[in-house]
């Protein structure tokens, strides 16, 4: 197609990808230095074409001071997925422009999310935001048409709205190419999930709070070997086959494993310890074998074993024959993974002392990462993640909340923000027409989550 009205610059710059700050995730912006911008003749606010293994677009924003002088572009998890790159990779960046779209079709990018609602809200949200077909994008706050937590679903007895950031897949645009939504664009929202080309819309590093260091370690142990196997072969170092995460329940071990898989562009297979133990005679081993087989076929892949202590307890604590055989099977499977198979097993437990020592021998789970209860800074990050897209009243002070929630793990903080949102919806209930099963736009506009809603939620 002749892009006569699109002015794409010839000048390009090669930049190294780094992660965006978590609180800026989903805004569709890319931060780069003043020098990089001037190299390509761009100004803040211009549309950038960013090319990795795939092409995406973002709006240019000036780098934070500490990045000035670096040849770095900061992209969030969705954008890294859109460009099919990881942090540390290089992308080519140039200035471009977008055309108004006649039509844009969105679908939810998160698996268990169902959406319904007026496209007007979406239109407002993405007004003037550059995008291309195939991109994953996120709403930025304010009132979203969204998935509802089960509690709310019961209250409304129908799909309604939640107050959360939602991620969407740009299924198609007319015309193709780089477009933006303007007042004349027709926006369609499909109700159910459609497989995106990249799974980072589901969970990525931006969604795991208080784990900067852990993420760095896991990137080195798992993501880099899966992403650049040649490099490790060349260096003659064998990447780890197994990593053991230990920490209390609800600290984000599962979510972290999923994020690592998605960011590594690896398939994710999950085994639940207690569940597998419950299967019939011989079934458990068979199931284990099948998962490992499938993972090997689908490689690069990550096999996640939750509550591994229930599969492989210390031998002196094992009584039944069935248990013994299962431990043996797991050990055989671990030993059977070829170091070039690009399969990594991540296991989680909250009782590291309760697992069979044989599992921790070299070549098995020989790396361990402790996932602790988050400190104040971690809690602040987690609260930030779970209130992304929530219309918070100005008096909600997340720093204060982080201070006063000592001992809360990620799951507790997620529940807290969900409860606060439900409080806010309860407040507007009298204004709702429950028969109509929808929230009128003018009510939706005014909804805010107040400080008091969090106070109420804390009481539960
Ligand atoms: P675990 O596997 O350690 O028991 P999960 O990963 O299943 O914990 O966490 C349950 C839920 O709690 C997650 O889906 C997420 O909503 C929230 N959560 C837990 N830890 C974190 C975290 N560090 N950052 C963001 N959310 C978290």
Would you give per-residue pLDDT tens digits along the chain (460 residues)? 444 566 777 899 999 999 999 989 999 999 999 999 999 999 999 999 999 999 999 999 999 999 999 999 999 999 999 999 999 999 999 999 999 999 999 998 887 666 666 677 788 889 999 999 999 999 875 444 444 444 444 444 333 345 678 889 999 999 999 999 999 999 998 877 878 788 888 899 999 999 999 999 999 999 999 998 888 877 777 788 999 999 999 999 999 999 999 999 999 999 999 888 877 778 889 999 999 999 999 999 999 999 999 888 887 776 677 778 888 999 999 999 987 889 999 999 998 888 888 899 998 999 999 999 999 999 999 999 999 878 888 899 999 999 999 999 999 999 999 889 888 877 877 766 655 555 666 666 677 899 999 999 999 8
Distance, CA 364 to ligand 1 centroid (Å)? 25
Any ligand 1 atom below 6 A from CB of 416: no
Q: How far is the CA of 265 from the centre of ligand 1 (A)?
A: 21
Indicate which atom in ligand 1 lies nearest the CA of residue 306: 2
149 lines ligand 1 (CB under 6 A): no
Ligand 1 geometric centre to CA of 459 (Å):
21
Half-sphere exposure of 451 (CA within 13 A, CB side): 8
Give me 458's structure tokens.
């804390």
Q: How far is the CA of 78 from the centre of ligand 1 (A)?
A: 19
Q: Report whether residue 414 contacts ligand 1, using a CB cutoff of 6 Å.
A: yes
For residue 211, the ligand 1 atom closest to its alpha carbon is 23
Q: Which of 414, 427, 425, 423 is nearest to 457 (CA)?
A: 423
Task: State residue 145's pLDDT score.
Answer: 40
Q: Is the CB of 418 under 6 A from ligand 1?
A: no
Query: What pLDDT shows up at residue 149?
Result: 47
Q: Ligand 1 center to residue 379 CA distance, Å? A: 12
Which tokens belong to 287? 């199931």
What's the gap in Å between 412 CA and the centre of ligand 1? 9
Residue nearest to atom 14 of ligand 1 (CA): 255
Residue 444's pLDDT is what?
Answer: 67
């Amino acid at each position: 197609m002749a892009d006569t009205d699109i002015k794409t610059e010839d000048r390009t710059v090669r930049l190294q990808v780094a992660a965006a700050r978590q609180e800026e995730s989903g805004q569709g912006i890319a931060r780069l230095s003043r020098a990089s911008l001037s190299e390509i003749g761009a100004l803040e606010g211009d549309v950038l074409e960013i090319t990795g293994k795939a092409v995406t677009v973002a709006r240019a924003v000036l780098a934070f001071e500490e990045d000035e002088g670096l040849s770095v572009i900061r992209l969030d998890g969705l954008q890294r997925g859109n460009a099919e790159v990881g942090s540390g990779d290089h992308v080519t960046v140039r200035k471009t422009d977008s055309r108004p779209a006649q039509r844009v079709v969105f679908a939810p990018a998160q698996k268990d999310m169902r959406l319904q609602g007026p496209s007007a809200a979406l239109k407002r949200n993405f007004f003037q935001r550059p995008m291309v077909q195939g991109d994953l994008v996120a709403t930025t706050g304010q009132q979203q048409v969204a998935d509802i937590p089960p509690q709310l679903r019961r209250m409304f007895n129908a799909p309604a709205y939640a107050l959360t950031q939602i991620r969407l897949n740009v299924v198609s645009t007319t015309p193709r190419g780089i477009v933006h939504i303007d007042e004349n664009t027709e926006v369609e929202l499909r109700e159910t999930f459609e497989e995106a080309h990249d799974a980072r819309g589901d969970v990525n590093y931006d969604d795991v709070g208080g784990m900067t260091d852990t993420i760095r370690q896991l990137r080195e142990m798992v993501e880099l070997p899966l992403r650049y196997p040649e490099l490790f072969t060349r260096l003659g170092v064998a990447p780890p086959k197994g990593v053991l995460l230990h920490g209390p329940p609800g600290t984000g071990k599962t979510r972290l494993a999923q994020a690592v898989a998605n960011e590594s562009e690896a398939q994710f297979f999950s085994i639940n310890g207690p569940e597998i133990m419950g299967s019939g005679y011989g079934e458990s081993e068979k199931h284990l074998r099948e998962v490992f087989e499938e993972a090997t076929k689908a490689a690069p892949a990550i096999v996640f074993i939750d509550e591994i202590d229930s599969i492989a307890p210390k031998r002196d604590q094992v009584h039944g024959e069935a248990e013994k055989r299962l431990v043996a099977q797991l050990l055989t499977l671990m030993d059977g993974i070829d170091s070039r198979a690009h399969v990594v097993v991540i296991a989680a437990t909250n009782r590291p002392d309760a697992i069979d020592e044989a599992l921790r021998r070299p070549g098995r789970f020989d790396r361990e990462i402790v996932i602790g209860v988050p400190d104040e800074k971690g809690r602040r990050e987690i609260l930030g993640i779970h209130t992304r897209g929530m219309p918070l009243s100005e008096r909600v002070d997340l720093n204060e909340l982080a201070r006063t929630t000592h001992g809360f793990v990620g799951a507790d903080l997620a529940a807290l923000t969900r409860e606060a949102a439900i409080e806010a919806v309860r407040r507007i209930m009298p204004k709702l027409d429950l028969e109509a099963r929808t929230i009128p736009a003018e009510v939706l506009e005014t909804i805010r989550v107040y400080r008091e809603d969090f106070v109420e939620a804390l009481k539960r």
